Chain A
Amino acid sequence: MSKNIFTFILLICCCITVNAQSEYTGKISDRTGNPIPDATIKVKNSATTTTSGPDGSFKIMAKENASITVTVVGYGATELSLGNERNLKILLDRNERYLEEVVVTALGIKREKRNLTFSSQEVKSEELLRAKDPNVVNAIAGKVSGVQITNSSGTPGGSARIVVRGTTSIFGKNEALIVLDGIPIDNSETGSIASGPGSNRLVDIDPSIIENVNVLKGAAATALYGSSGARGVVIITTKNGAGYKKPLITLSSDLGFDQALYPDVQSKYAQGDRGVYYNGEDQKSSSSWGPLMDTLRVNGAPVEKRNQMKDFFRTGRTTNNTISVGGSNPNSGYFFSYSYFDQQGTVPQNDFKRHNVFTKFNTKIGDKFTAAFQFNYSNSARHTVPEGYILESPIWTIFTAPISWNPLPYLNPDGTQRVFRFSRNNPYWTLDNVFTKGNVNRFLPVATFTYNPAKWLSITERVGADIYSEQLKYYEALNSVANPNGVLEERTNTFRQFNHDLIISAKKQFGNFDINVLVGNNILSSYGQSARGRGVGLSVDNFYNLANAATQTYSETHSLQRKVGFYTQANIDYKKLLVLSLTGRYDGSSVLWKEKNFYPYGSAAMSFVFSELLSRASTFLNFGKIRVSYATVGNDNVDPYKLTTAYEPANVATVAFPFQGQNGFLLSQTLGNPYIKNELVKEFEVGLETRILNNKLGVEVSYFNKNMSNGIIQGVLTSSAIGYTGTTVNTAKLNTKGVELLINATPVKTKNFNWDVVFNFTKINNKVLFLNGDIKQLSIGFTQAMVDQPYGVIFGDRFKRTAQGQLIIDAAGLPVKDDTQGILGNISPDWTAGITNTLTYRNWSFSFFFDMKKGGDIQNNVDGYGYFYGMPKVTENRQPRVIEGISEVDNKPNTVMADAEDYYRRLNSVLEAVIQDGTYIKLRNVTLGYTFRGALLSKTPFKSASVVVTGRNLLIHRPNFTGSDPEASSFGSANGSQGLYSFSTPTSRTVNFGLKLTF
């Protein structure tokens, strides 16, 4: 091998001698003086080429009268003639004709966006950081077409869900695959023991270390990623030191304040029932159907009116401090960053804290070998109290606490809890006595070695790991209403994932054809382990050790999954006019039927840059491209060990075996299916990308049509009479089609003033075509998958109506519940859109971002329960009323008066009454920044300094939703947690002050 290279080098030397060439050195930079690395310098009419280093410098041998071409992605090709000057300074202009964007595609391969045969959308660092959100998923919310992000609640560190191009699995994973610098990383939701969202584990990554996020949407883009890519891929590329040259130190500091956005409640009526006052002490009740506060007198004295939510929630406070340093020399670059994020939630006691250390080092070893090593360590710690509509949730009791009752002190003199109603804890007691604490230590090492034995050949070996361990503690003190004996739980979850890629790529030009071929191998191994100790029967308060529990049980689970993949890709580029891209992959997965655990799939895509055919002088159409693709992706969306039916450690009623000295095992409730094979996504996509008016207006539009077949349903319902409640099948069929639109416009561009607008729009139609056998309906948490309906319909009790749709009213003057249940709504939005305006004037920059969702129904449980309790604002009108409708007594329009309390309690019993349209327009982000430049800084050690004020969630327009924020999902990012607004920690309005210095 080395002998061959030696021969090759020798050959070059011979050529030099024969042709009497001279050495030219040069440096390539852009107009602002930034060096341009990775430029290809080629001597015309010869085989001699070289590449510029990180500082833009190069050396090349050429004859004195030769011409060279300098080609670099984003700058096009430049030709110049050589002369006597041996030291060249080459300045390049960004060539906007060739959309300068270079994007990181599958397997970390950089490609020019203009040549892509599929749709992808990038979000850059500055835009990520503008969101001031510690969670990368939330930071891109509303920015990327085709992507739906659902925040959970306002709990610090709370989970967010990211679904690309709609749902593809009934019960399985639907969230996008996350890839960090070429390594897939875990983004599952963990850390929830009591009700309330956990954290999606991407929260462990500090957004400030990210250079950009690129979302690969369609199957053609992701086919190389194998199985998991079927759900879309979010590619995260971290910063590196290249191009900084001298050490650049960046310091940034943020301070934010959060104000909880809670729902409106009535502020007129006291605790009680049918106008009779209950004092909440010796007369307890969940109802606020008492008398008017204004005229209420107890022993002649008025009762103090409280604003329970204002008293309970505090102003949240967030600090985020980052220091980073990066630099490079011609052969190596480095980047180091440390950050500390600390958020104190609006619910007292809730917090989220994260330390993040990131280092990256890359170097050239000799001429043909480069190595890069990076390491990310993070520590995320979280303290949360329960939320949602479980008995322990203080949010439930504070949202519904009577305005006439003083919740403090929370203990009676005898040490028992003071409560206004039975069966629920005092919300303030909960804060001190119930919590989940989580602590995650996570390591993400990645090593990449690249060997370029020849100009046209590159061999990359990339090895990475994702290792974390999560310690969780749940504590519920003695005398909690739900668990009077107290509960302690200690869990340790360990996750280890190793990824290996070996990629060989070759590129060669044959006449007008530029051909790039790649073959590779991937090995992925994921292991999860959970050890769980649970204790009940506590004897001592505030002793958080399992030793405190009289009864202790322990359980453990392990899960190992391995995948092997072989892949290949060929890109054939004809004169930058036509690009044909073919991929193929052959995957093996440990979780499938052994006879069918290897499966092939692939994609074919083509793009046609029609603007190449037009006159180069055309100023109207600067760029135009049509792309078409068809792809299939096989997927193994099933957990390990679903092929067999085994005996599991028994848990019966409240008892975990062993029990009374006897151990016990029962057959799994889920029947194993030994014949599970891969599911298959087939996707057709067509797209158009254009830039017109001197690149001032860019439009990208995509249409896709995606079919899932052989869909795996893990846990599909079966008749219990077969002996099992469910099994796993390969029968689901889903169709998703959609349109995505992205518009970039620069309405004004002058020397001092710039106005940029980015608009994105997404419309996705999703339909469940088939489930299993005769099954027409499966519940997914709070919603349903129903045949011929979109995924996630809300189904339940509805009002009885006449054929004309009028309500049927009973003898008491109240609406009647229909005997049968029906579809009440659909949680998928009709469309979503986002628009960002960025204005810069001299040193000032101002940006504002609106985010819109049309449709998408929500079950508003806060109103649902509230109607019963008499809490929503609307219940302030307590006049008796005649409900419009047809009386079932005489079939005539109803004339019977109904009491407000009876009316709202009837609404409480019919789900339809609380299904609301979640349409919203949000002013999600407003940023005003000032950058100090030039003279102002010349006497300081700073290279740059900027200050930024950011407002988030400043306006929420929600015409049909009566809660505070239609985006909140109370129970996290799981499939089954969507579409429900139910006593979740409120989201916040935030003001954030940021300072950034570099020196």
Chain B
Amino acid sequence: MKNIIVCIITVSLFFNSGCKKFIDVNDDPNSLLDVQEALILSPVELDISSNIAAGNASVIVNHWMQNVALNQPVPNSGTYLQNNVDFDADWTNIYVTGLNNLNNLKKKAEANGNFKYSGIAKILISYCLGVATDLWGDVPFSTAFQGSANFLPSYDKQEDIYKSIQASLDAGIADINKGTGKAVGGDDYFYNGDMDKWKKLAYTLKARYYMHLTKAPGYTAAAQADLALAALQNGMQSNADDLRFSYPGDAGHENFLYLTFLPVSTLVLSEHLVDGFKTRNDPRLSKMIAPASSTGLYTGRPIGAVDLGDLDAYSLPGDFYGSPTSPIYIVTYAEALFIKAEATLIKSNAAAAQPIYEDAVRAHMKLLGVSTTEANTYLASRGVLTAANALQLIMEEKSIANFLSLENFNDWRRTGFPVLTKVPHALSEIPRRIIYSQSELIANPQALHTAKLTDRVWWDK
């Protein structure tokens, strides 16, 4: 009898000593603890294109800029109905998918001496940060991305964020200039490892973010224009330098803007946008806008309409921007020229800006495949820049070239152009920022989270 018990106890003890080892099976077989830089860069670039440049916030601000409309009764985004939760995805796409991975890529590449990768990471960090601060104003950065070391990152002043953007762009350029480390290749969907183009992008972004501060408190338009013009010396030189993301267009791999306009969303182009092309007699109409499928006419939906319309009777983006294979344009040579035109207008006069403005429109038209003759005819019809109309014309044309870009919202807030009046059934004045995400309100509450859509960010004051 005793023997049995002794035997069992022995067996149990044996199990006991072995069971620490037995339960040591918590190594994740589905994920990796480390990967090389190239594997991170590819998905982050896709995030920047599909989720940020063409993401949810980008569509919402283009409601406010009266470029797109929902075929739904009011109230909706078109009439400025927004809740904090509407921006949860944007906050995550920028901070988690974008910035956290970029920050990690930067540190990893620096540690490995792969300065091309760290350079790209720094440039893209600036882009993401630029998008975030222009939408939300003060945002976390200097104490962000620390994981469990800091669960409540503080918010940096927008002015400091802007300094960080420029510093990170400079650091990115410096890293690229080092030129050492692993080469970047096909994992870079944007430029296929062409580091010269990355540098041109960095300088163009520097110019973009200098110009954003033309009316910022404590900054002068002239000084910002000077800085922008200097940066553009090394900026994009042709349409081939554009920062764009090309989609193969096969099922599941479509241009994100195409997916955004699928019938499920009931999103169409606005009457304001479509009628503008018709009024200007713009040769880009047929390239940028598709006729309504049921009528064959170019018809936009009036924003603020009470009733539902026929979804098929409204226009969608045309094949150049809206087909499954269309690229998403994030920063373009045309934009660089418009920045240059505006800066030149500030520094000199309308006449000096004229040829640059024309080049900018031509660059966009060339991109679209509009003939030189048509471009010339169109430019003639738009008239000559004068002190009175120069800024308006430059910004109007810039907003056409920056089709459905986030920049439209920044430029309108800075310059007031294109001129917009608030839509029927508007719930407020036209918004001047987006509100903080619901997730942030819950997880990292801050006094500044009370910001309303109509409040202004620092540089817009």
Contacts and interface: CB of A to CB of B under 8 A. Distances in A.
Interface of A: 1, 4-5, 8, 273-274, 283-287, 391, 422-423, 453-454, 457, 459, 481-482, 484-486, 502, 504, 521, 523, 536-538, 549-551, 553, 556-564, 566, 588-591, 594, 597, 640-641, 643-650, 652-657, 659-669, 671, 673, 717-725, 727, 773-778, 905, 909
Contacts of A666: 40, 43-44, 97, 101
A662 B8 CA distance: 57
A641 B26 contact: yes
26 contacts: A4-B3, A423-B264, A538-B251, A556-B30, A558-B29, A559-B30, A562-B25, A597-B23, A641-B30, A647-B33, A647-B35, A648-B30, A650-B43, A652-B47, A653-B259, A655-B252, A662-B42, A664-B39, A665-B32, A665-B35, A665-B40, A667-B101, A717-B439, A717-B443, A720-B440, A723-B104
Contacts of A591: 26
A550 B40 contact: no
A287 B307 CA distance: 10
B31 interface: yes
Residue among B23, B147, B152 with the most chain A CB within 10 A?
Answer: B23
Contact of B147 (A273, A641, A671): A671
Contacts of A523: 15, 19, 22
Contact of A537 (B27, B96, B187, B252): B252
A720 B50 CA distance: 19
Interface stretch (B138-146, B236-244, B339-347): B138-146
A562 B23 contact: yes
A283 B5 CA distance: 84
B73 to A, nearest CB: 7
Contacts of A640: 25-26, 28
B25 A422 contact: no
B254 A654 contact: yes
A561 B28 CA distance: 11
B307 A550 contact: no
B96 A669 contact: yes
A720 B439 contact: yes
B92 A391 contact: no
B133 interface: no
A591 B28 CA distance: 11
Interface string B37-57: 011101110110011000000
Given A652-B51, A665-B39, A720-B437, A537 B251 contact: yes
Contacts of B250: 537, 550-551
B151 A722 contact: yes
A649 to B, nearest CB: 8
B103 interface: yes
A652 B43 contact: yes
Contacts of A589: 23
A273 B309 CA distance: 11
A778 B442 contact: yes
B148 interface: yes
A564 B266 contact: no
Given A551-B250, A723-B95, A564 B264 contact: no
Nearest to B92: A720
Contact of B91 (A644, A720, A724): A720
A580 B231 CA distance: 84
Given A560-B29, A662-B186, 17 more contacts: A273-B308, A481-B264, A523-B15, A550-B250, A550-B251, A551-B251, A564-B19, A590-B25, A647-B34, A648-B31, A660-B253, A718-B444, A719-B439, A720-B439, A722-B147, A722-B148, A778-B442
B369 interface: no
Interface residues of B, number: 90
A723 B442 contact: no
A773 B25 contact: no
Residue among B5, B12, B28, B262 with the most chain A CB within 10 A?
Answer: B28
Residue among B7, B15, B16, B252 with the most chain A CB within 10 A?
Answer: B252
A664 B1 contact: no
A504 B46 CA distance: 61
A886 B35 CA distance: 63
A521 B15 contact: yes
B248 interface: yes
A649 B42 CA distance: 12
B311 interface: yes
B174 to A, nearest CB: 25
B79 interface: no
Contact of B259 (A274, A654, A671): A654
Given A484-B262, A645-B147, A274 B444 contact: no
Nearest to A868: B73
A723 B147 contact: yes
Contact of A588 (B5, B19, B442): B19
Interface of B: 1-5, 7-8, 11-12, 15-16, 19-20, 22-35, 38-40, 42-44, 46-47, 50-51, 71, 73, 75, 91-92, 94-97, 99-101, 103-104, 139-140, 144-148, 150-153, 186-187, 189, 248, 250-254, 256, 259, 262-266, 307-308, 310-312, 437, 439-440, 442-445
A667 B251 contact: no
Given A551-B251, A645-B147, A720-B91, A657 B33 contact: no
Residue among A537, A591, A656, A718 with the most chain B CB within 10 A?
Answer: A718
Nearest to A592: B26
Contacts of A727: 148
Contacts of B92: 669, 720, 725
Nearest to B20: A588
Nearest to A556: B30
B140 A721 contact: yes
Residue among B38, B103, B253, B262 with the most chain A CB within 10 A?
Answer: B253
A459 B145 contact: no
Given A521-B12, A718-B443, A653 B51 contact: yes
A16 to B, nearest CB: 21
Contacts of A422: 71, 263, 266, 311-312
B25 A274 contact: no
Contacts of A486: 251
B108 to A, nearest CB: 11
B263 A551 contact: no
Nearest to B2: A4
A118 B42 CA distance: 59
A655 B46 contact: yes
Residue among A8, A556, A662 with the most chain B CB within 10 A?
Answer: A662
A850 B433 CA distance: 57
A149 B159 CA distance: 56
A482 B264 contact: yes
B152 A536 contact: no
Contacts of B186: 660-662
Contacts of B153: 719, 721-722
A1 B100 CA distance: 66
A684 B198 CA distance: 66
B443 A775 contact: yes
Nearest to B132: A721
- Interchain residue pairs A-B with the least CB separation, the first 3: A537-B251, A723-B100, A646-B31
Contact of B308 (A287, A564, A654): A287
Contacts of B7: 1
Contacts of A4: 1-3
A593 B91 CA distance: 31
B226 to A, nearest CB: 34
A536 B251 contact: yes
Contacts of A722: 144-148, 150-151, 153
Nearest to A720: B95
Contacts of A391: 264
Residue among B20, B254, B442 with the most chain A CB within 10 A?
Answer: B442
Contact of B42 (A597, A664, A776, A777): A664
A727 B146 CA distance: 13
A719 B154 CA distance: 11
Given A588-B23, A661-B186, A665-B35, A719 B252 contact: no
Given A551-B253, A652-B46, A725 B439 contact: yes
